[in-house]
Chain A
Amino acid sequence: MGTKNKKIAIIVSILLVAGSLGYLAFGNFGENIVYFVTPSEVKAFSAEAYSKKVRVGGMVVKGSLKTQPDPVGLTFELTDGAATIPVAFQGIPPDLFKEGQGAVVEGQWRDGRTFHSTMIMAKHSEDYMPMELKRAGVELPKKDFMKTLSP
């Protein structure tokens, strides 16, 4: 085999490996993106979106929180002021999860009636749970309200 052929063979095999690695890394990227939405947007979901995993941010409605012993979990309502959705959560919520405060839940609007979640985020930081949220509650313009909740 001549040097030129050998060189081509080397380059081709490198490209092949690089290509398949690239496909592995970036081919499915789009499917793995989880969108952040509001309770209003969840309510407007069409049936195809039911199976899609999303994150929903909102405020935990006061008085809606109920704990379940077996399997350990919670049910509560999440609101953005305009719309309210019921959430069924399995597992243990984070330390800072409380009624009347902001939270982000990840899961699916599986049957179009209840949001089934396996993960709740309620980080404690000034970016996350600002004072004006507590003061003004959900009367903030919706867009700004969402900003305060974004993970």
Chain B
Amino acid sequence: MIIEIGHFSVIVALVLSVFGMASAALALKTRNPDWARSGRMAVTLIFVLLGVGMLSLVYAFIIRDFSVLYVANNSNSKLPFFYTVAAVWGGHEGSLLLWVFILSVFSTLAVWLHWRTQPAIMPYLIGVESAIIFGFLCLIVFLSSPFERLLPVPLDGKDLNPLLQDPAMVMHPPMLYLGYVGFSIPFSFAMAALFSGRLGEEWIKVTQRWSMFAWMCLTTGILLGGYWAYYELGWGGYWGWDPVENASFMPWLVGTAYLHSVLVQEKRKMFKVWNLFLIIVTFSLSLIGTFLVRSGVLTSVHSFATDPERGLYILIFVGTVIGIAFGALILRSNKLKSQVEMDSLVSRESIFLFNNLFFLVAAATVFLGTLYPLILETLQNAKVTVGPPYYNAVFMPIALGLLFLMGVGPYIPWRKASVASLKKSFSTPLLAGAVIVVLLFVTGIHNLYALAGGYVVTFAGMAIVLDFGKISQLYAQRNGSNIFQGSLAAFTANQRRYASMLTHIGVLVLVVGIIASTVYQTEKVVSMRVGDEFAIGDYRMKLTKIHEVAGGNWNAQEGVFQVFKGEDLVTELRPQKRIYSATQTPTTESAIYATNMGHVFLTMPEVSEDGVAVARGVLNPLVLWVWGGGVIMGLGVILNILRPRKKEE
């Protein structure tokens, strides 16, 4: 019964989304603000109704109502409570509902928050958001409903995929969706700017915090996904250029380009068409990313064949959004000529331009590598894949180039930089980079990427530290305070700038983590019996016992390994080989010992009947820097969003 209430609410929300579009159109036509007001009410009601829909599904999972097909497919009587709730977004149908629910939350927030300051934009915002909600709800109601009943009612559910029974995986999809959906707000404002012809900088300023929030959530989602892959999939890596990962990485790349490029328009009124282009592409890629993962097309084009309507609908929907957005952009492009031209190649404008170029080539690379196999399969029925070596070869130089630009961009003047100013800002960082390279080389690091990475990271980091140190000193002198108070004063006086620099520092930390854990990863795979040991790096692992353990919905063989460093016992690691009862699916659970920001990573993927275990040890130096960097990046964005509003905002 409850699930029918949810189903019905979602259908009413679909009807209301049509009403939302209509009232937006009428508000524009009649100039009567009452229509906008009723549009606002429609958007708000959609949020409430979709909330009811979500809750009814959550309820069905909590009471384990296996008469609901979606629950039967993604839950089980033995599934722990925590995961029964997370299972709501464990499958296609429920995750689409979560997507559109988040969209309704954001739409409602945006409409109410900007109602007073942006009255002229509101009808457009309501119209665009309602249209996207409409598109998703049609898919959910007609082709992909999580509310369908199943008859006869099965005794038990099929269970949630064991790999998804993990805390990081519980948070990963909602974070990604917050990111994807968050970009819909700047996208809607951009569309409003195009439709209304108010093509100034306002839409960018209004949505600046939205974009940063969306970007932060997307970044967090991607990094959580990496963390999950790292310890749950048991191969000791966190990024495999898998199409599913790529799908979320593409909007991130273009979104990052957008966040930087809008600064140029704010300050110099340039890149107008370009910024609209970037936000349209970012949001389109968010849609494509959602559908690529959720339609199953990445597993095989043939999954489209098993459900051709859904596939066709998705293609038409994404095509329509992209078509309308670019159509509007082309129609308006004559009005969008920037009045300002670039003065010099040695200027902040041009650094931003190259930043954009690098990010877009990176995104195009991922796009090609991810979609080319699908296209080739559709056209020629040939199966191909594009593997990690391709991406690595392209991304290493691009990342190094971007890091270099990151060091230059914030400290080179707008318009035209003089040689003297360049010398003043960059000679010390350039020198510091060289010193680090020599030091790294002397301490035995000869890998080219590690050295080049060390150079640019030091260069960029030094540029940030020098500049902030200098400004802090100025503040300290002026206020007659110490350097610590001075840096605090400097930070709060220019919070937007220095919060961004904090995010940049997070990126540098992340990059160090990636380089160290990729280039200097050591791996060892051995077969062993109880009593045997193997050495990896400075560590020795001794298998002391293999025994059976049981969880609520799984049984496992657990290996007990004593880890020695030299002669000292440092810890005990207990990797498991689990079998989940409902599906009889085996999984390999890793055990991790953290040392000096690095990891000793151990799995026991195989135990034969005669007691021979296969153990796999991986040393990942500095791997914690990857996620530590992510945390710093996020902190920077939060401080950026929370900065006090200035008058012109």
Contacts and interface: CB of A to CB of B under 8 A. Distances in A.
Interface of A: 6-7, 9-10, 13-14, 17-18, 21-22, 24-26, 28-29, 32-36, 53, 55, 67, 69-72, 91-93, 95-96, 106, 123-125, 127-128, 146-147, 150-151
B466 interface: no
B384 interface: yes
A127 B299 contact: yes
B481 interface: no
25 contacts: A6-B344, A10-B345, A17-B354, A21-B357, A21-B361, A24-B361, A26-B365, A33-B385, A34-B385, A35-B382, A36-B382, A36-B385, A69-B527, A70-B526, A71-B525, A72-B525, A72-B526, A91-B525, A92-B614, A93-B605, A124-B585, A125-B299, A127-B299, A128-B299, A151-B300
B338 interface: no
A42 to B, nearest CB: 14
A13 B347 CA distance: 14
B525 A24 contact: no
A22 B369 CA distance: 14
Contacts of A14: 353-354, 357
A51 to B, nearest CB: 15
B337 interface: no
B598 interface: no
B11 to A, nearest CB: 29
A106 B385 CA distance: 11
Contacts of A21: 357-358, 361, 398
Contacts of A128: 299-300
A127 B345 contact: no
A26 B368 contact: yes
Contacts of B394: 24-25
B397 interface: yes
A34 B302 CA distance: 19
Given A21-B358, A28-B390, A36-B384, 16 more contacts: A6-B344, A10-B350, A13-B345, A14-B357, A17-B354, A26-B368, A29-B369, A29-B390, A34-B387, A35-B382, A67-B608, A72-B526, A92-B606, A127-B300, A128-B300, A147-B302
Contacts of B397: 24
A32 B588 contact: no
A120 to B, nearest CB: 12
A92 B605 contact: yes
A70 B527 contact: yes
A72 B527 contact: yes
A69 B612 contact: yes
A72 B614 contact: yes
A70 B526 CA distance: 7
Contacts of B372: 29, 33
B303 interface: yes
A91 B615 CA distance: 11
Given A24-B397, A32-B387, A35-B382, A95 B616 contact: no
Interface string B290-312: 00000010011011001000000
A29 B605 contact: no
Nearest to A151: B385
Nearest to B391: A32
A88 to B, nearest CB: 15
B1 interface: no
A43 to B, nearest CB: 18
Contacts of B616: 92
Nearest to B353: A14
B591 to A, nearest CB: 15
Contact of B586 (A29, A35, A36, A95): A95
A125 to B, nearest CB: 6
B385 A55 contact: yes
Nearest to B578: A95
Contacts of A18: 357, 361
B368 A29 contact: yes
Contacts of A6: 343-344
A125 B299 CA distance: 9
A117 to B, nearest CB: 14
A29 B394 CA distance: 10
B389 interface: yes
A1 to B, nearest CB: 10
Nearest to B577: A95
Contacts of A10: 342, 344-345, 350
A13 to B, nearest CB: 6
Nearest to B389: A32
